Amino acid sequence: MKRTDQSYVIGVDFGTDSVRSVIIDAGDGREVAAALFYYPRWKDGLYCNPEENRFRQHPLDYLEGLEYTIGDCLKQAGPAVAKGIKGIAVDTTGSTPVAVDRQGVPLALLPGFEENPNAMFVLWKDHTATLEASQINAHAATQATNYLQFVGGIYSSEWFWAKLLHVLRADEAVAKACYSWVEHCDWIPFVLTGGNDVHALKRGVCAAGHKSLWATEFGGLPPNDFFSSLDTRLDGFTARLFDRTYTSAEPAGYLGKRWAEKWGLSSDVVVGIGAFDCHMGAVGGQIEPYYLSKVMGTSTCDMLVAPVDEMKGKLVRGICGQVPGSIIPGMMGMEAGQSAFGDAYAWYKTLLSWPLQQLHTSSLIDAATAAALRNEISDRMITNLSNEAARLPLDASDELAVDWLNGRRTPDANQLLTAAVSGMNLGTGAPHLFKALVEGTCFGAKAITDRFVEEGIPVKGLIGLGGVAKKSPYIMQVMADVMNMPIRIHKTEQTCAIGAAMFAATAAGLYPTVEEAMYAMGQGFDTTYHPDPSRSSVYAKRYLQYKQLGTFLEARNN
């Protein structure tokens, strides 16, 4: 292994609401600097329509955030650290693709498309393509080759091809200008390396395998006639996409001149291949074979790795895919998750906060006091609800919630499903409903674990990562009780950015393997939640009720 003395790497984590960059000491994983940037256009709710499940993000939010956060980190760290930067790697949400021209420029950056949502990145949680997803599933069922076998057997509206087809159908001008379709995690490294030809853009196996139907067994992407026979608008697209993929341990290239000069960095800085946040987050959280790493934020991504030779003949139904090398090169990477986790609590907080939004109409307090009061109550609401919910007795007849507020990602993707709460009466209060929501999201997590086990993939334990895992002891204790197994919480909240830094160190040649970078730079765990047997026995009964209610809702939806 090469010495990492005085070597530093940058990890960049593009989340749903913001981008965070960190500078990490490649020798021991110590955080040297960190910076955060909230997307201004997204924060203002531009280009989105929640009632239509449309969520779009402007590429300028990403570019401005990239420039600011890395620049601020370097300013904090000083010139000595800047000289020692060896690599940069990024993770993003996904599937979050965008229409680009032949030069790889997103259409929203071109004249005439600046304010067009269809020319922007289609965020992971955008569900406008549910029709297209259902048509892909029906079309795939007619083929001699099962092109959905490595993505759990069901294609989702959250993914690459469904979103492309929807945009092409919805907007003739975008369809005419769209030369290719690129994932956010592949586009950022292309930008950093100064790319100007989309055919030279290197695509990561993570996004390609889990969202784009790429597999070595097919010789790459499904053939053109699979797509053209679905809709002629897709004719010729495979030739304008890619025929090779790379793991995130490999370099995408070197830092382009523009960025090197802007930040005062060497043009010898290696830029790694990008991946999805949950995949790099699992590495930052020190994933182990057969331990389910749960990245818990607005949604959840549940990651599991296993030796490739132990997965022969096993195809897990209803998950978001199993792809060799998508998490750790040489290991089978499996992804599952929930479409709403933290978003479910945020929705409830917004619901309860409606009266607070009316304080400005009060004649009893001035506007400044109203704003301060509103912020104070809002900031404490989830903590106070958690404290009150934890004090409530647990009974099998308590209020019961199904967590499909943004549809169901896994098991068995169906983004048209909706949530429900049952068992309410006049004694039901806000803490009771919050308790039901927390239990519902944990029951949804258990359904994922059960699917892995049912398909012959053991789950030996749980690893909790992300903001909810770090900030919500009540939710994590309920998770342990519902799952009836311990859950270890990683020390750092920024496992995605740290994971990106680990991949940057590997791509830059500071470590020969991702595993060695992970062991050297990992920060370990600081908390373990153990299940309470008495509560787990009650939750076992309530989980059966959750499944029964879910079955009813699904039948009603159909």
Q: Is there a single domain that holds both residue 127 and residue 239? A: yes
Give the residue numbers spanning the domain of 413: 342-491+526-557
Q: Is there a single domain that holds both residue 500 and residue 434? A: no
How far is residue 450's CA from residue 379's CA, in Å, rounded to a whole number? 35
Q: Strand 121-122 and strand 56-57: pairing?
A: antiparallel
Per-residue pLDDT at 5 = 62
Q: Is there a single domain that holds both residue 545 and residue 509? A: no
Number of compact structural domains in the chain:
2
Tokens describing residue 70: 């890395």
Tokens describing residue 148: 């959905």
Write the secondary structure of 204-263 as one string of H (helix), E (strand) and C (coil).
Answer: EHHHHHHHCCCEHHHCECCCHHHHHCCCHHHCCCHHHCCCCEECCCCEEEECCHHHHHHH
Running along the chain, 558 residues long, what does each successive block of 10 average in pLDDT? Answer: 72 96 97 98 96 96 98 98 98 97 98 98 96 98 97 95 98 98 98 98 98 96 98 97 97 98 97 97 96 93 96 93 95 96 95 91 89 92 97 97 95 94 97 98 98 96 93 97 97 93 98 97 96 98 98 90
Q: Does 402 map to a domain?
A: yes
Per-residue pLDDT at 493 = 85
Supply the Cα-derived Rg of the chain in whole angstroms. 23
Per-residue pLDDT at 360 = 83
Q: Is there a single domain that holds both residue 412 and residue 424? A: yes
Per-residue pLDDT at 40 = 98
Q: Is there a single domain that holds both residue 158 and residue 233? A: yes
Q: Is there a single domain that holds both residue 472 and residue 408? A: yes
Q: Is there a single domain that holds both residue 118 and residue 29? A: yes
How would DSSP label each residue in 165-194?
HHHHHH-HHHHHH--EEEEHHHHHHHHHTT
Please report, for the domain that includes residue 374, its CATH number.
3.30.420.40
Q: Is there a single domain that holds both residue 433 and residue 517? A: no
| pTM (2 d.p.) | 0.92
How far is residue 194's CA from residue 105's CA, in Å, rounded to a whole number? 11
Per-residue pLDDT at 388 = 98
Q: Is there a single domain that holds both residue 248 and residue 397? A: no
Q: Does 311 map to a domain?
A: no
Q: Is there a single domain that holds both residue 440 and residue 504? A: no
Q: Does 443 map to a domain?
A: yes
